[in-house]
Structure 1
Amino acid sequence: MTSPVVEVSHLRKTYPGARGGAATKTAVADVSFQVARGEIFGILGPNGAGKTTTVECVAGLRHADGGTVRVLGTDPQADPSSVREHVGVQLQEAALHDKITVAEALHVFGSFYTQRADSAELLDLLDLTAHRDQQFGKLSGGQKQRLSIALALVGKPQVAILDELTTGLDPAARRATWDLVERVRDSGVTVLLVTHFMEEAERLCDRLVVIDGGRVVAEGTPSALIEGLDGDRGVLLRFADDGARRRAAELLTALADRDDDVSAAVTVGDEIEVTGTRKVLFAIVQALSAADLVPDDVRTVERTLEDVFVQVTGREYRPDENEEVAA
């Protein structure tokens, strides 16, 4: 079996309390995961969950208080300079001088490494060739993020850590950035992606951990985590004809009383929401077909990683409820 690229075991990190106080703040209480070569691995959770602190320990930028971290077999706590040669990092709220150009930034950052990527290829990969002579302060938000990725890749890393990459971007720029992250992975770089966007994690991550309160509360592929959710499935039916909708509602309400796969049927506006087991859609189709009732639209109620979070923590997901602890 191939060794993991990143191994984190029972990581713990605390910070001193307020000045004059003895209490400490636990940013990371107990986090463990492994990242395989060539995958996009997500660390998902609300602000304050311990995500940034975790990846800063992985990158050798912070010293952990407990547990172990290995990156490409090396301890970043003991030998941070060796790890940094092979790990590219894009951190939250990183900024450059407004006057530095894209090409100049790549040259400066590339000088920090013994090996460096070809600047022209990197600019092409990240759609920045046309902006190579543009100053940082004049770039759009999406262009700044693409440059941030380029700077994380300029040392030809085997692992790229991307922290809250698309925060502040509009939906179009966010999706364009997702495409770039997939291209980075396809170029052979293992990606450790930190995010509090559920849709981003579902779209990009091969596997992920959900962190809350400094602990891992769920781990797996997005599809497996969602598929493993307990509780009823939902189906929404829409009928253009009022008479057909009333007959369907009566039929499905009666079906809920006699079919174990159907829990309830409730009319909300011009839609009927039917809930039940994994077989609820099959039961609905059979019943409507037998009654010669054809809906104009049928949609399953989508379940997401947010539902996973709610189930494993017992509380609503509030991505911005806390800020990450800073030392």
Structure 2
Amino acid sequence: MVRRPVVVVDRVPVAGSGGRAPGSGRLARTLTGWGFALPFAVLFLAFTAGPVAVSLFMSVTDLRGTDLLEPFNVNIIGLDNYLRLFGDDKFLTAAGNTAVFVVVGVPLTMVLSLLVALGLNSGLVRFQTFFRVGYYLPVVTSIVAISVVWRFLLQPETGLANEVLGLVGVDGPNWLNNPTFALPTLIVMGAWRNLGFGMVIFLAGLQAIPKDLYEAATIDGARRFAQFRHLTVPMLRPTMLFVAVITTIGYVQFFEEPFVMTQGGPLDSTLSLAYHTYNQFGFGNYGYASAMGYVLFVVVVLLSIAWFRLLRNNVD
């Protein structure tokens, strides 16, 4: 019987390990990761999570501006602030105005955005870059500058809108000081201002649809409307969901338009939930305003869930 020689191999440290313990590299990577994440975590806790927790506590108290000097004397009143909202006529008016702004403004903005995107994607429009920039420019323009222009256009006697109506024999109203026309005017302004955002998203969705599908549909004899209904719309469902959710969140919180253009008037016809909440903070009703803010948050969550349920069967 021949015995095979036993070869003894010395253990040599892996190159780059420096002779450290096996777990030391993992620990170093963990510490490095936490080192990068720590600044964000600190800022998030200080400026987001912390204020959210404080405002939630404030919403169940009777905290007012005069109580800030003696914060430990604040009384916890449970859900009284939330129950009080539904007996507040001003809050109900603001909720109704916000509902109208969302129900009318969101579909209007989405339809206009989709139509513009379809036109630019058709290849029949020249200078597409110019039009894309032009439609998107209001999105990145200051609301104050936009409001100044719109107020100039909507002047009752010298504004361009009433001048054009006068050419066809129509006596234009005082758009921003008439309770009947003030909110619809802000809806049109909001749709015009946000049209560019939806256009960019829809244009990206349209360009992601394979051209072969349209060629096959054309060969099968499908007309343009049939292609749009049975091909474009189903393929755009994920894009529609994204635009709908983002636009709805923005419109539920609409604040700049009434704040700059009408200050919530006339006769509270343009008072929104966000603007009413802002006013309550200004009046020093911190507990009541915090409860109002959380109601607004719940509304945003419920509407987002509704959009997901409406379109989820076609979004995969």
The structure carrying a bigger helix percent of its residues is 2
TM superposition score normalised by structure 1? 0.25
Whose relative contact order is higher, 1 or 2, with alpha carbons under 8 Å and at least 6 apart?
A: 2
The structure carrying a bigger strand percent of its residues is 1
Structure number, greater radius of gyration: 2
TM superposition score normalised by structure 2? 0.25
